[in-house]
Amino acid sequence: MNSNLHVYNPLLWLKGAIVLIAIIGLNAGCSDYNKIMKSTDLDYKYQRALGFLDSNKCFGAIPILEEVVSLTRGTEQAREVQFHRAEAHRCVGDYYLARYHFKMFAKTFPNDERAEDAQFEAAMCSYYLSPKPALDQTETRSAIEELQLFLDRYPGSALRDSSQTLIDLLRVKLEVKSFETARLYHKTSQFQSAVIALSNALKEYPDTPYREEMQWLILDSHYQYASQSTERRKLERYNDTIEAFLTFVARFPDSRWMNDAQLIQNQCVSEIDRLQSNQPFE
């Protein structure tokens, strides 16, 4: 799986295409490729483009297919050519354009026998564009939406199980992103934000494998936040910490952080006693 996010730049893509076409020219003969591009025989051009696709020289196929698409628009051959153009862009790893062309094919030719495959391939392009968890997950969410759309549109598809597996993998990536973001607040001593982010992550992903660590970080964040508070606010926040401790103990009585949690609890009790003893009698 290509897990890196590539920003589509038409100028860079064109430069890359020119370079690779030049390489193809060296392999197949520059005069041969020029002959194809200059030919007025549409069928000849199309067959040569398919030949490039079959031999995995997809950069060579794209300029020819783009021309053939424009010349066959509105004809019976149009759908065939447009589907192969989408395949060619996918072949060179241009998932943005491939997704666009696959989606347009499915929309333009909904009754074609390849419409289902085109919709799935469009979703797969989004899947390939999904980046590592540390990066922005907009494309991951888009991929989930498109795979879910595919399942809704083709509930009886043979690709249903594969689509659901991909959705599950993408959701795991969002889960990791949520956990890492919340944990970063704790790591950077933004303890109030850490409590909020960790609590929200647990609500959204209650079955996450990170739930024990997240619950521990909530407890520790409460304690650190209370310790750094003004005397006026400490009593309330140490009590919040004790509540977090009780939740942690109830959910994870055998936790590897239990000794640390107990130390926090003892310290909170001691601080609460101190603070209450200093309060004036009413």
Q: Which fold has domain 189-277?
A: Methane Monooxygenase Hydroxylase; Chain G, domain 1 (1.20.58)
Which pairs with CB-CB distance under 8 Å and at least 24 residues apart come from 63-67? 63/17, 63/21, 63/37, 64/36, 64/37, 67/37
Residues 6+ apart with CB under 8 A from 1: 127, 128
DSSP per-residue codes, 21-86: HHHHHHHH-HHHHHHHHH---HHHHHHHHHHHHHTT-HHHHHHHHHHHHHHHTTSTTHHHHHHHHH
The kind and range of the H/E element at 183 are helix 160-187
Least Cα distance to 53 among 84, 83, 32, 17 occurs for: 84
Amino acid at 192: Q
Cα 139 to chain centroid distance, Å, stands at 5
Q: Give the 3-state secondary structure of residue 222.
A: helix
pLDDT of 241-263, one tens digit each?
A: 999 999 999 999 999 999 999 99
CATH architecture for the domain at 10-178? Alpha Horseshoe (1.25)
Separation of alpha carbons 45 and 57, rounded Å: 15
Determine if the pTM surpasses 0.85.
no
Contact (Cβ atoms closer than 8 angstroms) between residue 244 and residue 268: no
Predicted confidence pLDDT, tens digits, the chain (282 residues)? 444 444 445 445 544 554 455 455 445 456 788 888 888 888 999 999 999 999 999 999 999 999 999 999 989 899 999 999 999 999 999 999 999 999 999 999 999 999 999 999 999 999 999 999 999 999 999 999 999 999 999 999 999 999 999 999 999 999 999 999 999 999 999 999 999 999 999 999 999 999 999 999 999 999 999 999 999 999 999 999 999 999 999 999 999 999 999 999 999 999 999 999 876 544
- Helix 42-54 × helix 78-91 angle, to 10°: 30
What are the structural domain ranges in the chain? 10-178, 189-277
